[in-house]
Amino acid sequence: MMIVLALDPGQCTGYALAAKDDGTFDICYGQESFSHRELYDFIPPNVEHVICESFEFRQGRQLGVDLYPCELIGVVSLWYQYSSLALDLTMQPASIQGKKAYFSDARLKDMDLYQKGIEHGRSAVKHLLQWFYYGAGYQYLTTDQDPELVEEDWFRSKYLEGG
């Protein structure tokens, strides 16, 4: 069983977790306002792949830039360096989950993966799906397997707490 985490870091950080093997492709997602330590502690120790939205500063186009996402990216990078199980940390640009991106809200609705009121979590799940369908995670997909949205408490109990 492979566990994957995708993050959309910010004042309100979106996250998506996936459990994937030959017979399972379960996904849950949400969002939370994390301190540095809370984010570090939030990342499950059995995560093998981490996908994180990168930060892109556009000179002259942004005033009053919020650099907190950069700090959280640093926390994720530090976690990755100390992890004994994580195989890779993939940074993806924000544009892969924008309005014109393949994994739009409409596509999430078509895939039965849309949750209302969790905008940052939806951003994270879009990063997760991009990695699985068009990135390094593609090697783990099987053609007849669609992701299934599950409750986060159930996901944590089943995949993260050994239950």
> Containing H/E element for 74?
helix 68-82
Position 61 scores a pLDDT of 60
Position 93 scores a pLDDT of 92
Segments of 21-119 assigned E as strands: 25-32, 49-53, 88-92
Show me where the domains of the chain are located: 2-160
CATH superfamily of 2-160: Ribonuclease H-like superfamily/Ribonuclease H (3.30.420.10)
73-116 pLDDT tens trace? 999 999 999 999 999 999 999 888 777 789 999 999 999 999 99
> Are 40 and 78 a contacting pair, CB within 8 Å?
yes
Non-local (6+) Cβ contacts of 106 within 8 A are none
- pLDDT band of residue 58 (cuts 50, 70, 90) is low
Half-sphere exposure in the Cβ direction for 89 (13 Å, CA): 18
141-151 pLDDT tens trace? 887 789 999 99
11-51 pLDDT tens trace? 999 999 999 988 899 999 999 999 999 999 999 999 999 99
Kindly report the length of the chain: 163
Output b/e per residue, 109-127; b: 16+ Cβ within 10 A. eebebbeeebebbbbbbbb
Cα(107)–Cα(20) distance, integer angstroms:
21
* Closest among 135, 7, 140 to 77, alpha carbons compared: 7
Cα(157)–Cα(153) distance, integer angstroms:
6
